[in-house]
Amino acid sequence: MPTAPEALQAAATAIRVLTVDAVRAAGIGHVGLPLGCAEIGSVLFSEFLKHDPADPKWFDRDRFVLSAGHGSMLLYSLLHLSGYEVSLEDIGQFRQLGSNTPGHPEVGHTPGVETTTGPLGQGVGNAVGFALAERLLAERFGEGVVNHRTYALASDGDMMEGVASEAASLAGHLRLGKLIVIYDDNGITIDGKTDVAFKEDTAKRFEAYGWHVQKIDGHDPEQIRTALKNAGANEEKPHLIVAKTQIGFSSPKVGTNTAHGHLSDADVDATRLGLKWELTPFKLLDTAYEAFKPVRARGKQEHEAWQKRLDAALAKPELKELWERMVERKLPANLDALFPDFSKEKAMATRQASGKIINALAAEVPSLIGGSADLAGSNNTTISGSKVVAYGDFAGRNLAFGVREHGMGAIANGLVLHGGIRPYVATFLVFSDYMRPSIRLASLMDLPVTYVFTHDSIFVGEDGPTHQPVEHVAALRTIPNLQVWRPGDARETVAAWRGALLRTGGPTALALTRQNLEPFEGPGIEEKARRGGYVLLDAAEPELVIVATGSEVSISLEAAKTLNG
Amino acid sequence: MPTAPEALQAAATAIRVLTVDAVRAAGIGHVGLPLGCAEIGSVLFSEFLKHDPADPKWFDRDRFVLSAGHGSMLLYSLLHLSGYEVSLEDIGQFRQLGSNTPGHPEVGHTPGVETTTGPLGQGVGNAVGFALAERLLAERFGEGVVNHRTYALASDGDMMEGVASEAASLAGHLRLGKLIVIYDDNGITIDGKTDVAFKEDTAKRFEAYGWHVQKIDGHDPEQIRTALKNAGANEEKPHLIVAKTQIGFSSPKVGTNTAHGHLSDADVDATRLGLKWELTPFKLLDTAYEAFKPVRARGKQEHEAWQKRLDAALAKPELKELWERMVERKLPANLDALFPDFSKEKAMATRQASGKIINALAAEVPSLIGGSADLAGSNNTTISGSKVVAYGDFAGRNLAFGVREHGMGAIANGLVLHGGIRPYVATFLVFSDYMRPSIRLASLMDLPVTYVFTHDSIFVGEDGPTHQPVEHVAALRTIPNLQVWRPGDARETVAAWRGALLRTGGPTALALTRQNLEPFEGPGIEEKARRGGYVLLDAAEPELVIVATGSEVSISLEAAKTLNG
C-alpha cells in the first residue's frame, strides 16, 4: 500500500537533514548520495523491503546492499527510521571510533547492515551472491521457506568497475530474477561530471547481459513504486532500475561534485532552511516516522507466518538435518572419518587430493557448493554426480563462474553472507591477484570462503612466467585474517581442508600443486600438519635448518637426505 | 589488394600444420585458437597490417596484440610467414626453455611480439593503451609521423574479464577509432561450451560502450577482408569484429573444448591428412609464403616514406626536441634542478609534494602524461594548465580513467609499450589490489609505469578499514621487479620520483600520505633517500634500533627523541 505523499516526503526530508547534520558533526563524509536517493530509500524500506527490524537476522528477509558504501548515511537513516537499533545518538556519532555508524557500512557491526561496502563494485557482486544463494536454497527447502528478493543501490562508480560487470553478466546468465539493482544515475563522480570518462549506454549494456531495464526519475515516489512493482512482477530476468537523480538534492550544491563530499556550514544551514527544518541537530519530528509505522508490524507478521512454514517444513527429518547442516552450519560429528585415507597412496598432486576430499565430503556437507573460473578440470573442483547450476536448475552443486575471477570472489562473499552456503571457489594461484580485493573483504568480514588455488609454483613450467606464481603465496600471507595453507602432500591437504572447514571466522586459501608430490613417510601427518609447521626430518645437532612448504618440501627432504650422506 | 584464394588457403593451412606439429612436439599447448583463426591471421598479416618485418620496432607500425595469449602458435606462425626472425627451427622449439617461442607471447623476447599476454583481458587493455598513445602522439607530431592502427585478437575469456570491460568502456568514451578488436567467437572455453556461463549479447554490449560492431564468418576470407576494410573506413568509433569460428578447425576435435588444449598423436595425424600435408614436421612448401610475399617490400616502402616524413617534421627544432624527449626517452640534462626545493617548507603531505613535483617537471618532461581512477583531486595528479584528454582533443596531459583501476593499469602498460609516453596512474593505495594483475605484468615486462598510490596507511582514519591499507605496501614489495617507495617527507618524495623517472627497466610504486608529515632536519635528505634507507638519528651505542618508512618515520623520530630523554 503506497504511503501518503506527505509522510513519504517527511521521511525523505528526515534522511536529508540527518545526513547533513551527521556529516557536519563528523567534519568529513559524503552527503551526495543520501540527499539524491532519499525518496528511493524511503519508498523501498517503507513499502517494498520485506524485513523485521526486531530481528535483523531473520533468514528469509529481503537483503539490501548499499554498494555505494560511501553513502552510508542513507542506510543509517533508513535503519533508524525503520526501527533497527540505530539511534539518533548513534547517528550523532557518525564516523567516530567505536560508534556503530562507521564511515562505510560494516557487516557485523551495525544491525541491519548486510555487507561491508566502500570499495566500489563489490556490493553488486555480493548482491549477485545473495540472489544466487536464495535460488540454491529455495530449490532445496522450497519457496515457503526461502523466497526473498535482493536489492542493491549502486553508483556510477559501481557501474564502471569490472567486478560488477563480471557479476552482472553471470546474474543475467543465471537469470536471477529476484535481484533488483537500482542505479543512482546522478551524472557526477568525485572528479566531476561522469561524462569526463563515462559516456556508455549503461541501460543497453545491462540489456546485453540479459537484464530487464527500466528508467525512472529517482525523485518521483510514484515512478519508483511502479518500477519496483514491475521488477517484482517479472522474475525471469534480473532488474536494473536506472534512476535519474540529482546528487546533493535540496542542498545549494545540488548537481555538482562538491556535493559528493561534505558541505560547508553555510550550505548545511541553507539546506536545513530550504527543508524548513528548525529543530536542533539529531532531533526528528514524529512525522518523520509516519511512513515507517507499518514496517515493524508487517515484518513481525511476515516473520511469524514464515516461522510456521519453516516449522512445518522441518517436520520432515531430512529437511531438518539439511537445515542444520546448511543454515546452522553444523558439521558432521564424524568429520575426520569422512576424509579420504591417503596413507597408502603413491605420489599425487595436491590438487588431485583436494578434488578427492571435496568429493568425499560432499554427501555429508551439503553446504559445500562451489566451482571455478573456467578451470574446473584443472582445479579439480567438480563434485561428481552433481550438475552445473543453471537457470531453471539450481539443484546442482557445481558453479560455473566463467572467466570471471573477481566477480567469483565477490559472489562467494555474498553466498557466505546470505547464509546456508559454504562456498569454495577456484582458479590458478597466479590469478588470485585478479580477485584479491574480494579476498581482502572476505578477510575483513570474517567470511569462511575457501579458495582453491592450484598450479602453485614455478613447477607449472612451460606455460612460462605469466602463469608461474612466484610472489603470490607471500602476498596472500600479508592479508590479515586470511589463512594460507600450502600442503606438501596429500595428507597435508587433508589438514588444510579440515582447517578450512572448521574455520568460522575468516577465509582460507589453499595453494595446491599441479605436479605430483611424493607422500611423506610416517604416521600422523594429517595431525602434525594442523599445527602449521613441524619437523619432518630431525637431527641431534643440526648444522643447517631447511624450511619449506608445499611443492618444495619433498625436494628439500631429498636435499636433506643427500646432505646427511 | 586481396591475396589469391589459393595462396591465402596455403598460408592458413601452413599455420594449422605448424600449430599441431609444434604442440605435439612440446607435448603441451593450445591448438584451438590457431586452428580457428588461421584465416583471420592470414588476411590481417598479409593484407592489412602495416608492418616491416625487417624492423619490428618501426615506430609507426600497426600494433597487433594477441590478447588470447594461449593461442601463441598463431602469432609465431604469422611472424614466421611474414619474415620476422622466427625460424622453423624456433617453432620446432615451441615451449622449450630458452627458445624464442615460449608458451605465451613475451615482449622483448620474440621479434614482432608487442606485449606479454596470457592472463586474460590484459591484452585488450594494452590495445586500448596502444590506441590512446597513437592519438596522443599524432596530436603532438602530426599524422604524417604517427598514424597507425591497433589490432587485437581476443577470446571469449577476454570478453568475460572485467579488466577488458573497463578498458573497452573507456575506449568507447574516447572514441579510439583506430582500434580494431577481433573477437574469436568460437563458443568454447576450457570447461566446455561458453553457454555454461556466458550467454550475454557481447555485440550489443560493445555497442553500448560506443563501439562499431560487425559480425562475420571467421573462416571466410572475403568477409574478414570486408570487415577490416569497413573498420578502416570509419575512425569515429573503436571496432569490434565478432568472428564466428570453429575452435580446432580442420582437426577431428573441431568445435569441442578438447581442441582448446593439445591433440592426441592420432588427431594430429588425422589433421595433417585432412589438410593433405605429407611433409615432415616443420617443413613448409613455398606456396605457404606466397600470400606474404608482398609484405616485406610493402613494409620497406611504407617505412622509408615515413622516414622521409619524419625527417622533414623533425627539421623543426621544437619537434626534434619533443621527439627526443618523448620517443627517445631523453630526460633533461638538468633534471635534478627541476625538482621543487622543499628544504624550507613546513609540514606537508607527501601526496602534495608529489603533485608539486609532477607540475614542476611537466614542462621539461613532456612524456609525463597521466591521471587517476576518479581521484585526481585526492591523488594530486593533475597537471595544471593542461586539459583532460577527450575525444577530439588529445592535446591535454591529464587522463581521466573513471572508476576503472584495473583497466587503467592495463592501459598504462600499453602506453609504455607503444613508446613515447611515460605514464603515471593513480588511486588510493588500498585499491592497488584492484589493478595488481597489471602491476605484475608491468614488472614482468620491465615497463617504467609510475603508480601514485596515496592515502597510504591507517592514518586515513575515519573512512574505516575498507579504506585503510595495512598489508598493501608489504604485498607490493613481494612483486619481483617492482620498486616500492614510501617516502617520509617531501624531500624523500623527490628521491622517490627521481628514482621512478630514471628507471627504465620496470615500474615504480609510490606510497604517499594524505596527512601532513613534518620535514626531516638537516641537509641532503633527497640524496640520502636515494639509497633506500639511511640513519636519521644516530647514537653511539644504541640499545634499540627503530626502523620506519613513510607515515611512521616522523612519529618514530619523536619516539626516539623521547626515549633519549
H or E element that contains B399: strand B398-400
Using a CB-CB cut-off of 8 Å, the residues of chain A touching B106 are 464-466
pLDDT attached to residue A526:
95
Model confidence band, residue A279 (pLDDT cutoffs 50, 70, 90): confident
Nearest to B196 among A169, A375, A388 (CB): A388
Minimal-distance CA residue of chain A relative to B120 = A403
Give the model confidence (pLDDT) of A513-560 as tens digits.
999 999 999 999 999 999 989 999 988 888 999 999 999 999 999 999
Distance CA B440, CA B119 (A): 11
CA of B473: which chain A residue's CA is closest? Answer: A478
CB contact under 8 A, B436 and A431: no
* Residue A305 pLDDT: 98
Cα nearest neighbour of A377 on chain B: B191
Interface test with B, best of A176, A212, A462, A468 (most B CBs within 10 A): A462
Q: What pLDDT, in 10s, does the model give residues B479-502? A: 999 999 999 999 999 999 999 999
Whether the per-residue pLDDT at B1 is higher than 70: the answer is no
Q: What is the pLDDT of residue B564?
A: 86
Torsion over CA of A405, A411, A415 and A421, rounded to 10 degrees?
-30
* CA–CA min distance B431, chain A (Å): 8
In chain A, what percentage of residues exceed pLDDT 90? 93
CA–CA min distance B238, chain A (Å) = 13
Nearest partner of A513 among A488, A481, A482, A492, judged by Cα? A488
Given pLDDT bands bounded at 50, 70 and 90, which one contains residue B193? confident
Optimal mutation site among A189, A374, A379, interface B, most CBs of chain B within 10 A: A374
Nearest-CA distance B321 → chain A (Å)? 31
Q: Which of B378, B466, B482 to mutate to test the interface with A (most CBs of A within 10 A)?
A: B466
CB contact under 8 A, A104 and B466: yes
Strand, helix or coil at B354?
helix
Catalytic residue from among A106, A134, A405, A526: A405
For chain B, the average pLDDT equals 96
- For A403, which of B160, B431, B479 is closest by C-beta distance? B160
Which candidate, B99, B211, B193, places its Cα nearest to that of B152? B211
User: How buried is B334 (Cβ within 10 angstroms: 0-12 exposed, 13-18 middle, 19+ buried)?
Assistant: exposed
Residue A405 is among the residues annotated as catalytic for this protein: yes
Which residue out of B47, B134, B405, B492 is catalytically annotated?
A: B405
Q: What is the ipTM of this complex?
A: 0.97
Torsion of CA B558, B559, B564, B565, to 10 degrees: 80
Q: Are A388 and A555 in contact (CB under 8 A)?
A: no
Which among B240, B242, B265, B243 has a CA at the least distance from the CA of B252?
B265
Contact residues on chain A for B436, CB-CB shorter than 8 A: 433, 436
Contact B401 A197 (CB under 8 A): yes
CA distance A169 to chain B (A): 7
Question: Is the CA virtual torsion A47, A53, A54, A60 positive or negative?
Answer: positive
Cα A490 from chain centroid? 31
C-alpha cell at position B317: 627544432
Residue-level pLDDT at B526: 95
Answer whether residue B126 shows pLDDT above 80: yes
User: Over 80: is that where the pLDDT of B81 sits?
Assistant: yes
- Please write the tens of the pLDDT for every residue from A356-378: 999 999 999 999 999 999 999 99
Q: What residues of A are in contact with residue B199 (Cβ under 8 Å)?
A: 172-173, 210
C-alpha angle B236-B421-B134 in degrees, rounded to nearest 5 = 25
d(CA A33, CA A250): 12
pLDDT in tens, B22-32: 999 999 999 99
3-state secondary structure of A282: coil
- What percentage of chain B has pLDDT greater than the value 90? 93
Distance CA A523, CA A327 (A): 36
Q: Is B118's CB within 8 Å of A464's CB? A: yes
Q: Are A438 and A449 in contact, with CB atoms under 8 Å apart?
A: no
Give the span between the Cα atoms of A63 and A44, in whole angstroms.
12
Taking the CA of residue B392 and the nearest CA in chain A, the distance in Å comes to: 13
Which 3-state string (H, E, C) describes B232-243? HHCCCCCEEEEE
Give the confidence band of A76 by pLDDT, cuts at 50, 70, 90: very high
User: What does B212-239 look like in DSSP terms, one character per residue?
Assistant: EEEEEETT-HHHHHHHHHHHHH--SS-E
Shortest Cα distance, chain A CAs vs residue B334, angstroms: 34
Mean pLDDT over A383-402 rounds to 97
Query: From its phi and psi, is residue B455 left (phi > 0), alpha (psi between -120 and 50) or beta?
Result: left
pLDDT at B454: 98
Strands B239-244 and A368-372: unpaired
Which chain B residues are closer than 8 Å to A166 by Cβ? Answer: 160-162, 165
User: pLDDT tens-digit profile of A418-451?
Assistant: 999 999 999 999 999 999 999 999 999 999 999 9
Closest CA of chain B from A523, distance in Å? 36
Q: Which residues contact B451 (CB under 8 A, 6 or more apart)?
A: B424, B425, B426, B432, B439, B507, B508, B509, B510
Cβ within 8 Å, pair A209-B202: no
**Looking at the predicted structure, is the pLDDT value of residue A40 above 90?**
yes
Residues of chain B with Cβ-Cβ distance to A188 below 8 Å are none
Using 50, 70 and 90 to split pLDDT, how confident is the model at A1? low
Residues of A in contact with B467 (CB under 8 A): 103-104, 118
Which of A26, A120, A474 is opposite residue B403, by nearest beta carbon?
Answer: A120
- Global pTM exceeds 0.95: yes
**Residue A561 burial class via C-beta count within 10 angstroms: exposed 0-12, middle 13-18, buried 19 and up:** exposed
| Residue B140 φ/ψ region, left for φ over 0, alpha for ψ in the -120 to 50 degree band, beta for the rest | alpha
B157, B208, B441: residue with CB nearest A403: B157
- B464–A118 CB contact, under 8 Å: yes
pLDDT in tens, B376-433: 999 999 999 999 999 999 999 999 999 999 999 999 999 999 999 999 999 999 999 9
Inter-chain touch A197–B374, beta carbons under 8 Å: yes
List pLDDT tens digits, range B530-563: 998 999 998 888 899 999 999 999 999 999 999 8
Q: Which CA distances in Å does A110 have to A380, A395, A515?
A: 39, 34, 46
Do residue A403 and residue B173 have CB atoms under 8 angstroms apart? no
- Put simply, the answer to whether A467 touches B204 (Cβ < 8 Å) is no
Give the integer Cα–Cα distance in Å for A424 and A368.
7
Tell me which of A24, A398, A434 to substitute to probe the interface with B (most B C-beta atoms closer than 10 Å): A434
Q: Do A374 and B197 touch (CB under 8 A)?
A: yes
Contacts of A546 (CB under 8 A, 6+ apart): A556, A559, A560
Nearest to B104 among A172, A406, A464 (CB): A464
CB contacts of B509 in chain A (<8 Å) are none
Interface with A, mutate which of B100, B434, B443, B454 (most A CBs under 10 A): B434
Cell numbers linked to A24: 557536519
Work out the end-to-end distance of chain B between its first and last CA atoms, rounded to an integer number of angstroms: 85
* pLDDT computed for residue A259 by the predictor: 86
